Amino acid sequence: MNFARLKHATAAEHTRMESLVPLMSATLHQDQYRVVLRRFYEFVHSWEVWSAANAPEDLRPMLLERRRSRLLEADLRYFGEQLPEFHYTPPIQGTPSRAVFLGAMYVIEGSTLGGQYIAGHVEKALGLLPGQGDSYFRGHGDRTGSMWRQFRMVIEEAHDDEAEDVIAGAREMFAAFGEWMRQLKPADSLENETMGAK
Ligand code: HEM
């Protein structure tokens, strides 16, 4: 399928995501960042459990290599946070076709690109050293570009008649992530959640 089509079809969802996640805020402070890390951790961990159970055989090695919830665990530990109690929340309903699965994976993999920008900002705003407290956003580091190109090839190899399902999978995944992140708003809930941190 044509890759640009997937990108354009989900551009509005991506813009919405940027407004839901306060990570590029000029006034980002550590408490807020820690709350976001916990939220990411729960979602990404659920994704890894779900994708391990639902991945097509041929994508499994790629998925294993790209797991990043351990990085979020390390970042939470860096700030002296306990890991949140894990509540499994499947990001996609039902049993996905390979095409729907690819769409969902696109959202997780694509987020490594924005992660590079987020890491730079978070380091500046919170005075962190690269990879210390933001290893999740640094993610695959120098390999980010090559790993992204490798994943893009898998999308491009999908048949044109699967394109609609790939797009539907990506939209459902963006929606699930958005729903999860929306609980960060309004600013009050950030404070409440910080105060109620376990
Ligand atoms: C403040 C939050 C975010 C910012 C500032 C941001 C920024 C960006 C930027 C600049 C790119 C393009 C990078 C490049 O082409 O080199 C990108 C790509 C992407 N991001 Fe984000 N992002 C954010 C959050 C997210 C989240 C939370 C997700 C997923 C849950 C996500 C999913 C994606 C995807 C799928 C792409 C690939 C688009 C494509 O080229 O097809 N982003 N992001």
Tens-place pLDDT, residues 85-101: 888 999 999 999 999 99
Q: Each residue of 111-168: pLDDT tens digit?
A: 999 999 999 999 999 999 999 999 999 999 999 999 999 999 999 999 999 999 999 9
84 close to 38: Cβ distance less than 8 angstroms:
yes
Mean pLDDT, rounded, of the chain: 92
Domain that holds residue 105: 3-186
Residues 140, 70: contact at Cβ < 8 Å?
Answer: no
**Total number of domains constituting the chain:** 1
Nearest atom (ligand 1) to Cα of 173:
30
For 54-73, what is each residue's pLDDT tens digit? Answer: 999 999 999 999 999 999 99
Decide: 158 and 166 in contact? Cβ < 8 Å: yes
Output the domain CATH number for residue 113.
1.20.910.10
**Domain-located, residue 49:** yes
* Pocket lining for ligand 1, CB < 6 angstroms: 7, 14, 17-18, 21, 23-24, 106-107, 110-111, 113-114, 117-118, 177
pTM, 2 dp? 0.92
Domain assignment present for residue 16? The answer is yes
Q: Give a yes or no: residue 25 inside a domain.
A: yes
Are the C-beta atoms of residues 181 and 21 closer than 8 Å to each other?
yes
pLDDT of 176 above 90 = yes
For residues 45-62, average pLDDT? 97
Read off the pLDDT of residues 9-39 as tens digits, 9 standing for 90 and up: 999 999 999 999 999 999 999 999 999 999 9
**Nearest protein Cα to ligand 1, atom 31:** 111
Indicate which residue's Cα is closest to atom 39 of ligand 1: 7
Q: HEC string of the chain?
A: CCHHHHHHHCHHHHHHHHHHCHHHCCCCCHHHHHHHHHHHHHHHHHHHHHHHHHCCHHHHHHHHHCCCHHHHHHHHHHCCCCCCCCCCCCCCCCCCCHHHHHHHHHHHHHHHHHHHHHHHHHHHHHCCCCCCCCHHHHCCHHHHHHHHHHHHHHHHCCCHHHHHHHHHHHHHHHHHHHHHHHCCCCHHHHHHHHHCCC
Q: How far is the C-alpha of 95 from the C-alpha of 1, rounded, in Å? A: 22
Is 196 within a domain?
A: no
In a domain, 197, yes or no: no
Residue 40 lies in a domain: yes
Which residues neighbour 65 within 8 Å (Cβ) at sequence distance 6 or greater? Answer: none
Encoded tokens for 133: 């407290």
Q: Which of 7, 16, 17 to mutate to test the pocket of ligand 1 (most atoms within 8 A of CB)?
A: 17
Which ligand 1 atom is the nearest neighbour of the CA of 113? 13
CB contact set of 48 (below 8 Å; sequence gap of 6+): 67, 69
- Residue 195 in any domain: the answer is no
Q: What is the pLDDT of residue 183?
A: 78
pLDDT at 171 over 70: yes
